[in-house]
């Protein structure tokens, strides 16, 4: 977004992470979303990247893009958003506009951000400063549907501000914008996008459990069903990342606070969160059925990121599989060419390899369908008695014992 805005306006990118700021100022983007040459060219013209708050004072629009995670009890964690609101309040001037892009529940922008900004800035909402909400729409790793090619929802705290914000985004969004009637409507639209996807994946994940018991291949069933024009082609799998596996809890929390229990949303979340343990237990049972000794066995896990062909491993459910398999005293090797070991958090105590270690494995679990694994010859790494479990229907079926 900073790259695109800097093609039209002086743009300042601010982050608390000094390492991230230094990296970007060297012309390097570790997320691999931006071409390094494009970044360097923008830094030479209208783009500044900094960790110094005072450098932001000249701005008229402040766009907040911090994470909105959940805590260990699956409750919304507004800590980053509250902190960002405090930071903005220190430098906000009369006439400025704050736009939130984080996924929140309907009402959160005005219920959480506005009071903090008013209290710390001594400015009055919708008189001295204004708010907008334009939810992030980005597909990590997708080089076709990039930021400017995805329709952007916009909204503002009054009709005049809403129009200004919409015109601002129209400068960079080639696909066009959709101006929502209110901030709450825009917030709701974003959170149901991810909730709908979560529920649909939960449905096919439940189907995979049923079809596994019946003894038929879920992907083959879905291929057949897809011949009907209006069948939605969702596939079973792990639901991690910082959006789909998190955002439904925000809507659920708001719903519960109003006295309504959102049964389908929470049911879908429970089912999707259960898949890591289900997969681990399936793999172990498959090994036992082939008379493979589980204790001290060598298991290869292919892929660690939360989705294919990108380095993002936030809230990856592969970690949950790893921890579950560890309970069986297995020797686990995780391979992911997309993961930079420096980006791993402190509580990850195991190594992630770029390439498959030169050893024999009793079981292989393909967890993420990186293109790097497409033509992989696993035979040199497999023992004579072995199990190959393909979560994504990605590997050659001739070598696969089970697909999710």
Q: Catalytic residue positions? A: 243
Give 111: exposed, middle or buried? Use CB within 10 Å, 0-12, 13-18, 19+.
Answer: middle
Q: Tell me how far apart the alpha carbons of residues 81 and 98 are, in angstroms, rounded to a whole number.
A: 12
Write the secondary structure of 349-382 as one string of H (helix), E (strand) and C (coil).
CCCEECCCCCCCEEEEEECCCCHHHCCCCCHHHE
- Residue 195 sits at φ, ψ, to 5 deg, of -65, -40
Q: Tell me how far apart the alpha carbons of residues 77 and 81 are, in angstroms, rounded to a whole number.
A: 9
Q: Tell me how far apart the alpha carbons of residues 37 and 169 are, in angstroms, rounded to a whole number.
A: 24
Write the secondary structure of 276-321 as one string of H (helix), E (strand) and C (coil).
HHHHHHHHHHHHHHCCCCCCCCEEEEECCCCCCCCCCCCCCCHHHH
**Residue 21 near residue 51, CB atoms below 8 Å:** yes
CB atoms within 10 A of CB 277: 14
Q: Tell me how far apart the alpha carbons of residues 115 and 217 are, in angstroms, rounded to a whole number.
A: 53
Pairing of strands 361-366, 352-353: unpaired
Question: Any idea what the Cα angle at residue 35 is, between residues 33 and 38, rounded to 5°?
Answer: 125
Q: Tell me how far apart the alpha carbons of residues 109 and 19 are, in angstroms, rounded to a whole number.
A: 29
Distances (CA, A) of 337 to 1, 115, 153, 308, 312: 27, 45, 35, 11, 12
Q: Tell me how far apart the alpha carbons of residues 359 and 145 are, in angstroms, rounded to a whole number.
A: 39
3-class SS at 323?
Answer: helix
């Amino acid at each position: 977004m900073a790259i695109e805005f800097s093609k039209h306006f002086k743009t300042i990118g601010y982050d608390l992470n000094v390492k991230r700021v230094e990296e970007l100022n060297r012309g390097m983007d570790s997320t691999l979303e931006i071409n390094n040459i494009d970044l360097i060219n923008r830094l030479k013209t209208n783009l500044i990247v900094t960790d110094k708050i005072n450098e932001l004072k000249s701005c008229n629009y402040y766009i907040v893009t911090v994470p909105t995670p959940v805590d260990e009890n699956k409750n919304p964690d507004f800590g980053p958003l509250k902190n960002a609101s405090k930071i903005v309040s220190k430098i906000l001037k009369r006439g400025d506009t704050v736009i939130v892009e984080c996924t929140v529940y309907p009402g959160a922008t005005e219920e959480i951000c506005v009071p903090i900004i008013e209290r710390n800035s001594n400015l009055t909402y919708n008189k001295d400063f204004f708010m907008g909400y334009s939810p992030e729409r980005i597909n990590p790793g997708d080089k076709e549907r990039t930021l400017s090619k995805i329709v952007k929802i916009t909204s503002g705290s009054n009709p005049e501000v809403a129009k200004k914000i919409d015109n601002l985004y129209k400068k960079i969004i080639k696909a066009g914008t959709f101006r929502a009637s209110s901030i709450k409507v825009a917030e709701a639209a974003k959170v149901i996008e991810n909730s709908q996807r979560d529920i649909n994946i939960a449905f096919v994940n439940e189907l995979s459990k049923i079809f596994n018991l019946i003894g038929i291949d879920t992907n083959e069933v879905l291929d057949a069903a897809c011949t009907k024009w209006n069948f939605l082609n969702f596939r079973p799998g792990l639901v991690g990342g910082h959006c789909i596996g998190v955002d439904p809890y925000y809507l659920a929390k708001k719903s519960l606070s109003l006295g309504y229990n959102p049964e389908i949303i929470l049911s879908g979340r429970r089912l999707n969160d259960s898949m890591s343990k289900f997969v681990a237990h399936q793999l172990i049972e498959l090994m036992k059925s082939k008379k493979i000794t589980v204790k001290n066995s060598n298991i290869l896990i292919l892929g660690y990121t939360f989705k294919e062909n990108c380095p993002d491993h936030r809230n990856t459910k592969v970690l949950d599989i790893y921890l579950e398999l560890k309970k069986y005293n297995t020797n686990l090797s995780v391979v992911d060419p997309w993961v930079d070991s420096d980006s791993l958090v402190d509580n990850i105590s195991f190594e992630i390899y770029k390439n498959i270690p030169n050893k024999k494995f009793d079981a292989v679990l393909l967890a993420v369908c990186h293109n790097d694994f497409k033509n992989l010859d696993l035979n040199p790494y497999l023992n004579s008695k072995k199990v190959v479990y393909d979560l994504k229907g990605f590997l050659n079926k001739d070598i696969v014992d089970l697909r999710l």
